[in-house]
Amino acid sequence: MASLELRQVAVEYTMKRTRQPLLALRNISLSVAHGQFVALVGPSGCGKSTLLNVVAGLQPASHGEVWLDGTPVVKPGRNRALVFQSPSLLPWRTVLRNVTYGLELQGAPPREAAQRARRYIDLVALNGFEESYPHELSGGMQQRANLARALATDPELLLLDEPLAALDPQMREVMQAELQHIWLQTAKTALFVTHLISEAVFLGDTVVVLSARPGTVRAVVPIDLPRPRTGQLRRSPRFRQLEDTIADLLQTELPTRLSSI
């Protein structure tokens, strides 16, 4: 049984000023098997964050259905964790207490929550910063704290909206490998949005390419590369071939003005 199923999902916004409708997503059907890592790519504004919000239960679909493990998604739930595009740490809490926050909400005893939080803080290489406040961290460090917070609650489905975008290129590759490592250990189902094709190929079991807005599934590209994937694999002909395939699919979604350059 598919763990996550989207059936003909569409999302329409109403633009505040003009009251005009804006179709962000149309006819999205997608099946994600339990434990699968799906990377989502698509042009800016095609509705990737919207899609994640709908799956998280933070906003309703205008049309269609989202099912998770046989239950329709209508509101947020503990079985899902969303890492937002911009870090969303609580500014009045330290790193440690941001990571324990979700665990406290789940009713974990404070000592156990702190122990668990420290494990994930180590995992994202933030040890030494447990008592720092978000404003004392760099953007990339805030993103890592954010990731630790989501992982610590042990959700069944991880929704990751460009979680590594704020990192420098070296740290980003390190974190991609870390994320793969965590995912291989925990076997979570994951929907991962990225603008970086190499990141999608490195991490994904499949890469879903969305069209320009209104976003719809343009292609599903299976990534038949062995795991664990290594830095060396990035330079292999097959890796590069997959990158090219996805780049070509995305290229056709660019505005003609840009793609003709």
Ligand X SMILES: Nc1ncnc2c1ncn2[C@@H]1O[C@H](COP(=O)(O)OP(=O)(O)OP(=O)(O)O)[C@@H](O)[C@H]1O
Helix (H, G, I), strand (E, B) or coil at 127: coil
Min. distance of Cβ 113 from Mg ion in angstroms? 30
- Among Mg ion, ligand X, none, the one that 134 touches (CB under a kind-dependent 5 to 8 A) is none
Kindly tell me which of 88 and 230 has the beta carbon lying closer to Mg ion.
88
Range 56-62, long-range pairs (CB < 8 A, 24+ positions): 56/80, 56/82, 56/159, 58/82, 59/11, 61/9, 61/10, 61/11, 62/10, 62/11, 62/12
Among 13, 57, 62, 140, binds ligand X (CB under 6 A): 13
Among 1, 15, 258, 261, binds ligand X (CB under 6 A): 15
| 49 makes contact with Mg ion (CB under 5 A) | yes
* Whether 147 contacts 155, CB under 8 Å: no
- Contact pattern from residue 23 through residue 42 relative to ligand X, giving x for each residue in contact according to CB under 6 A and a dash for the rest: -x-----------------x
Q: How far apart are CA 123 and CA 183, in angstroms?
A: 12
Among 3, 36, 49, 153, binds ligand X (CB under 6 A): 49
Q: How far apart are CA 85 and CA 102, in angstroms?
A: 18
Kindly tell me which of 44 and 260 has the beta carbon lying closer to Mg ion.
44
Interface ranges with ligand X (CB under 6 A)? 13, 15, 22, 24, 42, 44-50, 85, 213
Q: Which residues of this chain interact with Mg ion, rule CB under 5 A?
A: 49
